[in-house]
Copies of this chain bind each other. A is one copy, B any other.
Amino acid sequence: MKQPIRVGILGLGRIGKMHAANILTMKEFEVVCGADPFLTEETEREMQELGIPKCTKDPEDVFADPTIDAVIICSITETHSDFIIRAAKAGKDIFCEKPIDHDVGRILDALRAVKQADVILQVGFMHRFDRHHSALQHKIADGTIGDIEVLKITSRDPAPPSMDYIRSSGGIYVDFMIHDFDMARFLTGSEVTEVFATGTSVCDPEIAACGDVGSGHAVLRFANGAIGILETSRRSSFGHDQRIEALGSKGCVMNDNEYENNVRFFTQDGFHGAKVPYHFPERYKDAYFVELRDFAQAVREHTAPPVTGFDGLQAVLIAEAAARSAKSGKLEAVETIEV
């Protein structure tokens, strides 16, 4: 059996804790240390109980530890680029939560550092690893539907996050729809050239008061001629609504949500079926494992990870064009940057 990859986890908030718990059950990894500047005694105890041997407030403890092979960056977005650069300089492979950064300049600095150090950088777009989405992607990639003409993504959260979160999120396009922008590229295998975006806060007027929208909609034009239609909302109330559809020259492929079970109950009023998963931790439960398993493989074989830094950059560039379009009311071109 191969030696496990020794990792440090940067950021022990909600998503960091989830990754920590997952990684601790994976034989591919050994968690050496968790670092969080806001580390509380409670979190430290929680991490110990989970089985993480050491916690620290200083991320440098991770970068400086020569026994650590890789870092999992789950800290706030503002720290991502800096941590990527420091990890790269320390020769560590990197798994970084999305988005890489809100600032394209800083993303480019980070990607250059990764390139120079020749380390692995994988971005945390876990939607790609969902079995329903992945099966659909295969039907497109293997030519089953012929040439893709239209891609439609429905992506809705059950309920809006706190207004504090909304205010510091960077806006719906870069915070939320970035997953869908990434999926759009992944599924079509083509780059987005133009975007029209618009939104509304009819689902929650408080969001408008924060200067953001609660529902974001985008029409994408791809280099291969296909059209993408994305529809997202912060509030779908019935659960985490995650569906994709692709129309091609030979037919149409679509996936449905997952359901908690396949039971149906029939009465004189019709029939009743099960719930869909409430939110992303339930729906993408398995996908969070699969992305890390693939990261482990990329680290071990020193090969390109399934989601690269370039992918992370493109999603941000599309999000920026979408934000511009939402203001201008016009189709906006997506910036092209050589990395």
Contact = CB atoms under 8 A, between A and B. Distances in A.
Interface centre among A131, A145, A198 (most CB of B within 10 A): A198
A193 to B, nearest CB: 12
Contact of A263 (B156, B221, B255): B255
A24 to B, nearest CB: 10
A224 to B, nearest CB: 8
Contacts of A255: 261-264
A19 interface: no
Contacts of A227: 198, 200, 202, 215, 217
A256 B251 contact: no
Contacts of A144: 265
A205 to B, nearest CB: 10
A262 B251 contact: no
Given A25-B25, A260-B131, A272-B271, A265 B198 contact: no
A331 B250 CA distance: 32
Contacts of A331: 198, 329-330
A231 interface: yes
Interface string A132-156: 1011100100001101011010101
B274 A270 contact: yes
A229 B217 contact: yes
Contacts of A269: 272, 275
A-B pairs, top 6 by smallest CB distance, nearest first, are: A251-B267, A256-B262, A202-B225, A238-B266, A329-B331, A135-B261
